[in-house]
Amino acid sequence: MEIAARVRARELRAADVVAAALERIERTDPQLCAFAAVWRDEALRRAREVDVRLDRPGADVFLPLAGVPVAVKGRNGLRAAGPLLAAGCVPVGATSVPGPGTPWQTWGLGAHGRTVNPWRADRTPGGSSAGAAAAVAAGLVPLATGGDGAGSVRIPAAWCGVVGLKTTSGRLPSGDRTGLAVPGVLARSASDAGLWWTAVSGERAPAAPTLPVRAVWSPDLGFADPDPEPVALARAAVERLVAAEVVRLVRPRVPLRLRDPGPAWLALRTPGSDLAGAERVRAENDRRLAALFADAELLLTPTAPTAPHGHEGPGDRYSTALTWGFNLSGHPALSLPAGFDGDGCPAGLQLVAPRGREALLLAVAREA
């Protein structure tokens, strides 16, 4: 990340970088409502500490994210930010999440009101990492942490036109008793998301994959009913990857037809539900995904089945139709910007990899 490189080289002061981010937030957030709280004094103090560490004569300090302003999801998001602080990040505030009376899959509630989509204020940024995606898309911060239990990183990433990574279940600490919700990140680029991944996972940057990567395209995972425009935009993004020789589409030996994961996901979230039935769906979908990944390294789908809806809510349609199956299965997944629809709203292409292959997702996304 250029910010961190320039702060380490002492071309920039971390305190100045963070002060500029705080000024952007102060100027823009009354309209965007991406933040539930801004920690101005604490952020400036932490930034000065980064500068002091780097200024010490002979200091042998490597901070890969030195001085990078980061927003954390929700008022309790700082609890999981230890690895980012150790890497030199400076938390500037807590981003908005759905408030009382707002569906979890819809929009956020910031300190100044409902969170709006930076591209169209009459549309939602998606949820539940609403403020995180809006803050990154609007350029207030380069990174924001998120949590993804059903698509809560990937959907707002798609609808705000940024990169969103959901990690493999169990690779990073999560307080979710069901195991469905895992940490993730929103970023302006795959390279920046990769720096977050290195900081929180300790995984070294891998060798570049052999291109093109074998991939399977599925517009609907065999059960969903997505709208034509998000499918067309995602498919066009796939064709660009094919033309650039980043991926090569292959036909699996058995066409992918997953069982609808929705009822199983909801059962795992609802006390007293039929957990045996949910586990049968999980096991069957795991078997079908294992067969697909025996033939390919990536699965490509639209991220969301619809365009961003208005602030009145999504109606009866679940924006999670194409994402929550991978919370159930635990596979890592990434949403990549796929262009804009006729209303000027962003759409996303979802990349899904075998468990533990976050590095592959990020490497392919960097080539996009």
Residues with catalytic roles: 73, 128, 152
Residue 253, amino acid: R
Separation CA 339–CA 58 (nearest Å): 47
Terminal-residue alpha carbon distance, the chain: 17
- In this structure, are strands 247-249 and 213-217 parallel, antiparallel, or unpaired? parallel
- Among 286, 187, 303, which residue's Cα sits nearest to residue 238? 303
- In this structure, are strands 333-340 and 346-352 parallel, antiparallel, or unpaired? antiparallel
Separation CA 74–CA 76 (nearest Å): 5
Burial class, 272, CB count within 10 angstroms (exposed 0-12 / middle 13-18 / buried 19+): exposed
Q: Taking the CA atoms of the chain, what radius of gyration do you get in angstroms?
A: 20
Encode burial over 113-133: b for 16+ CB neighbours within 10 A, e otherwise: ebbbbbbbeebbbbbbbbbbb
DSSP string, 197-252: HHHHH-PPPPPPPPSSEEEEE-SSTTT----HHHHHHHHHHHHHHHHTTSEEE---
Cα angle 88, 144, 149; round to 5: 125
Query: What is the three-class DSSP state of 364?
Result: helix
Number of neighbouring beta carbons within 10 Å of residue 301? 31
